[in-house]
Structure 1
Amino acid sequence: MPEDIRQTVDAVWRMEAARIIATLTRWVGDLGVAEDLASDALVDALTQWPQSGVPRNAGAWLTTVAKRKAVDQWRRQENLDAKYAVLARELDDHVDQAWDPDRIDDDVLRLIFSAAHPVLSREAQIALTLRVVGGLTTDEIARAFLIPTATAAARITRAKKALAGCAFEVPERDEFRARLSAVLSVLYLIYNEGYSASFGSRWIRDELCSEAIRLARVLAALVPTEPEVHGLLALMEFQSSRFAARTDADGNAILLEDQDRTRWDRAQIRRATVALQRAEDARAGRGWGPYALQAALAECHALAPTSADTDWSRIVTIYDALLQISPSPVIELNRAVAVAMAQGPASGLRIADGITGLQDSYLLPSVRGELLARLNRHAEAAAAFHAAAELVGNDRERDVLLRKAARYSRD
């Protein structure tokens, strides 16, 4: 197969898989069957597109082919003539039909809410939706949960089995709140994987970030009185405003303190500020939630004219509040960095050295390397960067860590 066709197929699948599977799940009522149909359609694309060319609406082509395969399956079954007739009438004979973004948006949101089914544990809800909607690999999901890959795979398998036969329907509005926490967690983790890719050669997977923001906007319109929805949207907008300055021309990472802030997207920062204000208005005297607090942290960076102007003391205070309502070793580590910036690297290192639960993550040795380097303990810094490089899955990030290790090994 020509390499350009293969790359196109990969790109189409990466961008459209969640929407295709969401649409098929609504049609056939079974997530596992929908995934199988979508995969079969992808095989057809790999076979046919090299000869016929890539359709103008490739996502619609894949969806229609998958629907026809569903029809073929139903035709082989007894007592399903009525279902077949309904589905067949809606199929357009012309595969290259126009894509309806509103309907697809609803289908993706339907799938997210449906996968947050009460028969599943919260962890299983999130893992399953990350796999199907976010398109994350099992390794990436394991990294998000800080668990072994085998554990993540088992969760996804059990979730699919538990949902077999369950109706994939958007719950009634009065049931939204019960599922909202899991839905927000999914969007947050999808965005995080896009913001800092776990594996591969890309530092940022902007298509994941864009999809998470799009879905958060749809959700904010659906439940406008939920403060954490606006808080999460604000966080995503603040973080995405820095994308143009996060990498150089070769795709290498640029640290926050070294970024050209004139390249930050001021329009996106204004949208984020508006969303954070909506979160404040919606909370009506209730305490801040974890997403709104993280958005407030991002706002501190977004509004500082230079790195030196950052209000690190306020950032430490916000992290203190965040740890009270959402304790995690990653938040502890981020707080250690903030303390280092506010009070000096020795203070931050003392906190970092007391953190547990990140033994399989590159994050802790990476931060320790930075703090040790600022304390001029270069040999220890080099060893920490080497340890981090052995744990990281992203090629770009590994290269950065190895360069730092080499730099401090020479000093």
Structure 2
Amino acid sequence: MNAEVEAAFRDEWGQVVATLIGLTGDWDLAEECAAEAFAVAVERWARDGVPRRPGAWLTTTARNRAIDRLRRDAVGATKLRDAAALVPPGDVPGSADVPEIADDRLRLIFTCCHPLLPFEARVALTLRTLAGLTTAEIARAFLVPEATMAQRLVRAKRRIREAGIPYEVPAGHLLPERTSAVLGVLYLLFNEGYAASAGKDLVRTALCEEALRLARTVVALLPSSAEARGLLALLLLHDARRASRVSAAGELVPLAEQDRSLWSTPLVAEGVAVLETALRMGTPGPYQVQAAIAACHATAPTAGETDWRQIAALYGELARYVPSPVVELNRAVAVAMSSGPAAGLELVDRLTSTGELAGYHLLPATRADLLRRLARYPEAADAYRAAIGLAATDSERRYLAGRLAEVCA
């Protein structure tokens, strides 16, 4: 039964929390009551079975918990009256139809992405409340200590409360000032679904689908934003390959070894079309560059026909927009594929010496792969061991362990 609750958590957490924040205006209360509802589900569902609409059941349970808490708190009397006025008896917010759920979550994103909040806090708070990521998972995504991320989240919630930031999608003329943060949130939300930062599952399908749905909504809200279209194209092209990333046994399948017949042809075609529309708008940006990289992969008939030279050039262009060590690591991989592993290893070793990616498992994993291709097996084995020690998901650890066994043999 815990498996059903875990599945409901992945699918419904954001809806439940977004609804409760809209009702109470209290972020901490919303998260606490949502967590209590899932805890109750562990016991009740084992006894009574899984309800027909798990999301509605969880929302009702969490809302009742919130009302009980507010009743016990004299300070919450006004909030209780507001909640009662907003929700007619027997109605469950967000359970009637999908558009309302999407709107609740979109309000949550735009609230989190208010310009009064620092950019990192906007993204982190949305990942915490919408995706249900733990503080540790978000810290790994930002490559910062968990304690640092915890402080950012506390400060962000306090700022929303003290500044009276409204829980709403802003008026049209205010949308552009929040676009960058909103796109950043959707990008990281999709990434967490596409390559989970922790846990036994590499892919969290519900998060991928939610990020895609919200990206389409943002494009509809901001039709003149080329970068919104660029992000949508990027997500579509990545999502087209989702079915091939994990084997039937739950093992990670590298891009070069994926069964391309499993790739979604309609999603690839849609992603390329959306990207072409964005590029014709004449305002290039980092999401469009990343989408172009993804298109190089998605449209190559075979792994051997991938235009790695073009991909390396695009990563160089991306570094102009986003001067990040992760971008440089990806460029090193592309250089290794286009100019040989020795050229890529030189760039990776340069990155290693800076210490900027300390604790990021893909750095030693990439270095290990390049050393393996150069037949420097003892060094490769050491790098694989370092990567295994840093990897956060079971599937990644198993994949790296398999590579380690190969070089040791």
- Equivalent residue number for residue 378 of structure 1: 377
Determine the C-alpha separation between the residues in 2 that align with 1:85 and 1:392: 46
- Equivalent residue number for residue 103 of structure 1: 100
- Equivalent residue number for residue 285 of structure 1: 282
TM-score between the two structures when normalised by the length of structure 1: 0.92
Cα 1:193/1:84, change in 2 over 3 Å:
closer
Determine the C-alpha separation between the residues in 2 that align with 1:59 and 1:264: 30
Cα 1:169/1:17, change in 2 over 3 Å:
same
Q: Is the aligned partner of 1:9 residue 2:5?
A: yes
- Residue 47 (structure 1) shift: 4.1
> Is the contact made by 2:23 and 2:82 (CA closer than 8 Å) also made in structure 1?
no
- Equivalent residue number for residue 224 of structure 1: 223
> Is the contact made by 1:246 and 1:255 (CA closer than 8 Å) also made in structure 2?
yes
Determine the C-alpha separation between the residues in 1 that align with 2:244 and 2:32: 40
Cα 1:377/1:178, change in 2 over 3 Å:
same
> Is the contact made by 2:18 and 2:108 (CA closer than 8 Å) also made in structure 1?
yes
- Equivalent residue number for residue 408 of structure 1: 407
- Equivalent residue number for residue 57 of structure 1: 53
Determine the C-alpha separation between the residues in 2 that align with 1:252 and 1:368: 21
Q: Is the aligned partner of 1:25 residue 2:24?
A: no
Specify the SS of the correspondent of 1:164. Answer: helix
Cα 1:39/1:300, change in 2 over 3 Å:
same
> Is the contact made by 1:61 and 1:96 (CA closer than 8 Å) also made in structure 2?
no
Cα 1:33/1:385, change in 2 over 3 Å:
same
- Equivalent residue number for residue 358 of structure 1: 357
Determine the C-alpha separation between the residues in 2 that align with 1:84 and 1:154: 29
- Residue 256 (structure 1) shift: 1.2
* Corresponding residue to 2:133 among 133, 136, 157: 136
Give deviations 1:72-119, integer Å, cap 9, x for gaps.
45556486485365245x1217x7995321111001000000011233
User: Which one is further off, 28-37 or 360-369?
Assistant: 28-37
Determine the C-alpha separation between the residues in 2 that align with 1:108 and 1:143: 24
* Corresponding residue to 1:303 among 291, 299, 322: 299
- Residue 128 (structure 1) shift: 0.7
- Equivalent residue number for residue 121 of structure 2: 124
> Is the contact made by 2:127 and 2:133 (CA closer than 8 Å) also made in structure 1?
yes
Q: Is the aligned partner of 1:92 residue 2:112?
A: no
- Residue 32 (structure 1) shift: 2.0
Cα 1:202/1:97, change in 2 over 3 Å:
closer
Which amino acid counterpart does residue 384 of structure 2 have in structure 1? F
Which amino acid counterpart does residue 202 of structure 1 have in structure 2? D
- Equivalent residue number for residue 258 of structure 1: 257
- Equivalent residue number for residue 393 of structure 1: 392
- Equivalent residue number for residue 187 of structure 2: 188
Determine the C-alpha separation between the residues in 2 that align with 1:385 and 1:40: 40
Cα 1:404/1:40, change in 2 over 3 Å:
closer
Give deviations 1:358-397, integer Å, cap 9, x for gaps.
1111111111111111111111111111111111111111
Determine the C-alpha separation between the residues in 2 that align with 1:198 and 1:172: 35
- Equivalent residue number for residue 42 of structure 2: 46
Determine the C-alpha separation between the residues in 2 that align with 1:267 and 1:91: 43
* Corresponding residue to 2:330 among 328, 334, 339: 334
- Equivalent residue number for residue 109 of structure 2: 112
Determine the C-alpha separation between the residues in 1 that align with 2:255 and 2:17: 37
Cα 1:86/1:238, change in 2 over 3 Å:
same
Cα 1:320/1:69, change in 2 over 3 Å:
same
Cα 1:96/1:121, change in 2 over 3 Å:
closer
- Equivalent residue number for residue 239 of structure 1: 238
Determine the C-alpha separation between the residues in 2 that align with 1:391 and 1:351: 21
Determine the C-alpha separation between the residues in 2 that align with 1:97 and 1:238: 29
Determine the C-alpha separation between the residues in 2 that align with 1:401 and 1:96: 44
Cα 1:13/1:246, change in 2 over 3 Å:
closer
> Is the contact made by 2:15 and 2:94 (CA closer than 8 Å) also made in structure 1?
no
- Residue 247 (structure 1) shift: 2.2
- Residue 159 (structure 1) shift: 1.3
Which amino acid counterpart does residue 216 of structure 1 have in structure 2? A
Determine the C-alpha separation between the residues in 2 that align with 1:267 and 1:101: 23
Determine the C-alpha separation between the residues in 2 that align with 1:83 and 1:253: 48
**Alignment length (residue pairs):** 401
- Residue 161 (structure 1) shift: 1.9
Determine the C-alpha separation between the residues in 2 that align with 1:155 and 1:362: 24
> Is the contact made by 2:55 and 2:95 (CA closer than 8 Å) also made in structure 1?
no
Q: Is the aligned partner of 1:271 residue 2:270?
A: yes
Determine the C-alpha separation between the residues in 2 that align with 1:174 and 1:319: 33
Determine the C-alpha separation between the residues in 1 that align with 2:349 and 2:54: 51
Specify the SS of the correspondent of 2:350. Answer: coil
Over the aligned positions, Cα root-mean-square deviation in angstroms equals: 2.1
TM-score between the two structures when normalised by the length of structure 2: 0.92
Specify the SS of the correspondent of 1:354. Answer: helix
Give deviations 1:114-137, integer Å, cap 9, x for gaps.
011233211111111111112112
Which amino acid counterpart does residue 340 of structure 1 have in structure 2? A
> Is the contact made by 1:71 and 1:87 (CA closer than 8 Å) also made in structure 2?
no
Q: Is the aligned partner of 1:203 residue 2:202?
A: yes
Give deviations 1:246-277, integer Å, cap 9, x for gaps.
22221112211122212211111011112212
Which amino acid counterpart does residue 7 of structure 2 have in structure 1? A
Which runs of no fewer than 5 residues in structure 1 stay unpaired?
Answer: none
Which runs of no fewer than 5 residues in structure 2 stay unpaired?
Answer: none
Determine the C-alpha separation between the residues in 2 that align with 1:10 and 1:260: 29
> Is the contact made by 1:57 and 1:96 (CA closer than 8 Å) also made in structure 2?
no
Determine the C-alpha separation between the residues in 1 that align with 2:201 and 2:37: 27
Which amino acid counterpart does residue 123 of structure 2 have in structure 1? I
